[in-house]
Structure 1
Amino acid sequence: MPGRVVAQSNDEWRMFMEGPIGTLARVVMWVGLAAFACSAQASGADKPPSFEEVQAAAKAGSAEAENDLGYRYLQGAGVAKDEVQAAIWYRKAAEQGYAPAQSALGGLYLHGVGVPPDAMQASDWIRKAAEQGDALAQSDLGMMYLKGIAVPQDDVQAILWLRKAAEQGSPAGQYNLASLYQRGGAGLAEDDAEAIRWYGKAAVQAASQLGVRQSRQKLCEYRGENSVWCAEVDTPGAFGPVDDLVAAAEGGDAKAQSALGDM
């Protein structure tokens, strides 16, 4: 019922964390180093900065470096793995308003990594990042509203945030939105065309197997080729023709759009 905050037992919370949002929280933790590495490349650096260089920049107050340092402690990249230190540095960056760190800190609270598990803290930090336009955080927040986890259950807000994430190109947001269109839910009527469209986008854009495998599987199901084609989903190049078809459809090719709609 809209407006109701659902209290979660430990078992319920564990089940929720093993679902899509838990997977997304793990994915979001990769944001830190990727963002910092891209920045280094754009600035002309030949290689990512060393741990010592990042540490010095973080201690000088750079939010970007604090975020990267948190990631390195979390992954044990160039330093002994230390989840508590990871949380400390993510928090420093998050408190400066750095959206990727806010998303990551929310993920730590979701899993109780380096900090005690705390659904309210998780939702607070994820919301801050989502409101800044972080697509992964938007997808997470949408799922929280959908499930009533630490926020009032609200289908309208769920769709709003999932759509924001999907329209930014987030595979997680696209997949979650597609699944709602497929079965009808959260106020959305069943719509095979929309489900196929968003599953296709997720399959094309996903950088992780989260979106690729599951979205391709759904497209296979729509085609009715589960026994043959879906068995080859993980084979390199097996999905190439559909990738090309979706890309052409998105580029405005009328024939491709029609063919995709017939899947």
Structure 2
Amino acid sequence: MPYLFFVLPAIVYVGYFAFYPSFSGVYRSFLSPHGGFTLNNYNELLYYNLGAAILNTLIVSFGALIIQLFLGLVVASILVWEFRGKKLFSTVTIIPMGIATVVAAIAYSFIFEPRGGYANTLLHALGLGGINWYSSTPLSLLVVMVADSWKNTPIFTLILLAGLSSIPRDLYHAAALDGAGVFNRFVHVTLPNMRKFIAIALIIRGVQEFNIFALPLILIGEHPPLLTTFVYDLYSTSPTVYISLAAATILLALMTVFIALNIAMGGRR
């Protein structure tokens, strides 16, 4: 069929640069240095900080997704209406998406610097004591979530704005005539019509959250570990590359489960 020639380059590209490396990594994660099949690579992970890396990854991923979903929905709900200064407001809200991750990470490292950082300067101005933002795992993960949410909330905003714009205004007018308040209109009109858009946004950003690397590496280093920085550390320090491939396979499995759940929930009516 002629149209296959148009999509063939994309299929070859995705297959060679995405699927082949993924399947190859999964296969090699079950190999020993001598080439035999083994589960020892996964057993070795128990002696490293795998549990903490998985937990931290889940906290950062779901925490950032909740923040971005909420902020994206708020901003999209504002942008769906016409008002003076809308173009300026929309431009300002989208700017963070165009900033390089490394630049955003460096900027937030200045903001959360324990000594003289902008966050602590603001706290001192309010008469509060400064905080060492990197003194504990929860605070370190919070720094990553805040920085990541600032940069990537515009992605949620654009997707959710498209969803809100597609909802007929007549549905809201009819609900209002039936006596539905703002909350009931949101629950019974907005959310049902936004389900698939929310699922799309969660899938796109969820995969990116599980793969977040540069931002935490610059802000908090390899400790506390996320799965991506954990794999990087294993690749640099473990006796064989197969152990890091086992950790990467676990990360791939978590992403697959997350995507499957979102597709299932997004398809419900």
TM-score interval, normalised by the smaller of the two chains: under 0.3
Q: Which one has the bigger helix percentage?
A: 2
Choose between structure 1 and 2 for higher RCO, CA contacts under 8 A separated by at least 6 residues.
2
TM-score of the pair, normalised by structure 2: 0.24
